[in-house]
């Protein structure tokens, strides 16, 4: 059974249709890249999977581990192992990283019927996960994303991914705004977190991230649909030819 099975997913915001029939199947342990031009619906797709309220699903369905994902509240989805690395991580002034993550982690443990992590074990784990993405442990006593640099915010997302150990990680343009060194750190972090029981959906505009995170499958999204799927060579082809030829195909279809 696939971890994630999406059938004919349609979604809109206000009166505007954005997703117009997305089909996608992600198996356990697989890494899928979703590429596509701006405005093709990539970020909406991520937001709908995470349960953002502004988007209304009008047709189609999403099975996650065999259950109806769309029927679950956003926090329930998170507790069931769906993680979204935000394109624009949100600042929470006055809420320390420590406090935030301890709550997140302990809610998850409670959900699984486990005891809260001891303070010592929590700190140890935080240090290990921070090292994974070269995040300064000093940031843990600061407010969530408050005053973080662009690169720190993105690394912070991958750090949280490492802490929360999801089964499905969706990375929404995690590479945008990163210089090549930061990109490498993020990619190395993700690669270290690849496991046979953890799947990734990596949304990106550029091919270069895929030099570091090598996907099993590459999909191209255009006008709210997946118009082409292939192996990693598809990404290189896009790099060379751009998106226009696919967009024309999509319109013609």
Partner 1 sequence: MPTTETEFLHEVAASEYKYGWETNVEADTIPKGLDEEVVRLISAKKEEPQWLLEWRLRAWRHWEKLAANPSEAYPRWPHLTYTEPDFRNITYYSSPSKKPRYESLDEVDPELLETFERLGIPLAEQEKLAGVAVDVVLDSVSVHTTFKEELAELGIIFCSFGDAVQEHPELVQKYMGSVVPYTDNFYAALNAAVFSDGSFCYIPKGVRCPMELSTYFRINQAGTGQFERTLIIAEEGSYVSYLEGCTAPMRDENQLHAAVVEIVAEANAEVKYSTIQNWYPGDNEGRGGVYNFVTKRGICKGDRAKISWTQLETGSAITWKYPSVILKGDGSVGEFYSVAFTKGQQQADTGTKMVHVGKNTKSTIISKGISGGRSNNSYRGLVKINKGAERARNFSQCDSMLLGDRCGAHTFPYIEIKNPSAQVEHEATTSKIGEDQLFYCFQRGIGEEAAIKLIVNGFCKEILAKLPMEFAVEAQKLLDIELEGSVG
Applying CB under 8 A, which residues contact partner 1? 50-53, 73-75, 77-79, 83-84, 86, 89-95, 99-101, 103-104, 107-108, 111, 143-144, 160, 164
**Which of residues 50 and 193 has its CB atom nearest to partner 1 in the complex?**
50
Cα 71 to Cα 159: distance, rounded to the nearest angstrom: 28
**Which of residues 106 and 134 has its CB atom nearest to partner 1 in the complex?**
106
Cα 214 to Cα 191: distance, rounded to the nearest angstrom: 9
Only one residue has tokens 């705004």, namely 177
CB 209 → partner 1: shortest distance, Å?
21
Cβ–Cβ < 8 Å for 129, 84: no
**Which of residues 173 and 223 has its CB atom nearest to partner 1 in the complex?**
173
Give the pairing type, strands 67-68 and 4-13.
unpaired
CB 196 → partner 1: shortest distance, Å?
23
CB 46 → partner 1: shortest distance, Å?
11
**Which of residues 85 and 187 has its CB atom nearest to partner 1 in the complex?**
85
**What are the structure tokens assigned to 225, written together?**
């649909």
- Can you tell me whether residue 251 is helix, strand or coil? helix
**Which of residues 199 and 207 has its CB atom nearest to partner 1 in the complex?**
199
DSSP conformation class of 223:
T
For 45, phi then psi, to 5°, come to: -55, -45
**Which of residues 100 and 206 has its CB atom nearest to partner 1 in the complex?**
100
- Can you tell me whether residue 126 is helix, strand or coil? helix
CB 89 → partner 1: shortest distance, Å?
7
**Which of residues 50 and 234 has its CB atom nearest to partner 1 in the complex?**
50
CB 86 → partner 1: shortest distance, Å?
7
Task: Please name which of 167, 251, 222, 250 lies closest in space to residue 34, comparing C-alpha atoms.
Answer: 222
CB 156 → partner 1: shortest distance, Å?
11
For 23, phi then psi, to 5°, come to: -120, 130
CB 144 → partner 1: shortest distance, Å?
8
The three-point CA angle 148-123-113 to 5° equals 110
State in Å, rounded, how far the first CA of the chain is from the last one: 31
Cβ–Cβ < 8 Å for 135, 155: yes
């Amino acid at each position: 059974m696939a971890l994630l099975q999406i059938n004919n997913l349609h979604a809109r915001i206000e009166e505007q249709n954005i997703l117009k029939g997305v089909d996608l199947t992600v198996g356990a342990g697989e890494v899928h890249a979703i590429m596509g031009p701006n405005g093709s619906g990539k970020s909406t797709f991520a937001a709908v999977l995470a349960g953002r309220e502004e988007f209304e699903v009008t047709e189609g369905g999403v099975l996650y581990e065999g259950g109806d994902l769309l029927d679950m509240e956003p926090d329930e989805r998170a507790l069931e192992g769906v993680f979204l690395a935000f394109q624009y991580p949100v600042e929470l002034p006055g809420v320390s990283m420590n406090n935030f993550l301890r709550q997140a982690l302990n809610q998850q443990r409670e959900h699984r019927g486990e005891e809260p992590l001891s303070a010592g074990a929590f700190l140890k784990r935080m240090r290990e996960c921070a090292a994974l993405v070269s995040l300064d442990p000093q940031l843990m006593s600061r407010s969530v994303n408050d005053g973080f640099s662009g690169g720190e915010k993105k690394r912070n997302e991958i750090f949280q991914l490492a802490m929360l150990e999801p089964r499905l990680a969706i990375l929404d343009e995690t590479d945008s705004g990163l210089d090549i060194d930061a990109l490498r750190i993020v990619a190395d972090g993700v690669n270290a977190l690849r496991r046979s029981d953890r799947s990734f959906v990596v949304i990106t505009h550029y091919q270069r991230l895929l030099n570091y995170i090598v996907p099993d499958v590459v999909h191209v999204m255009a006008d709210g649909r997946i118009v082409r799927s292939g192996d990693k060579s598809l990404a290189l082809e896009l790099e060379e030819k751009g998106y226009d030829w696919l967009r024309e195909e999509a319109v013609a279809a």
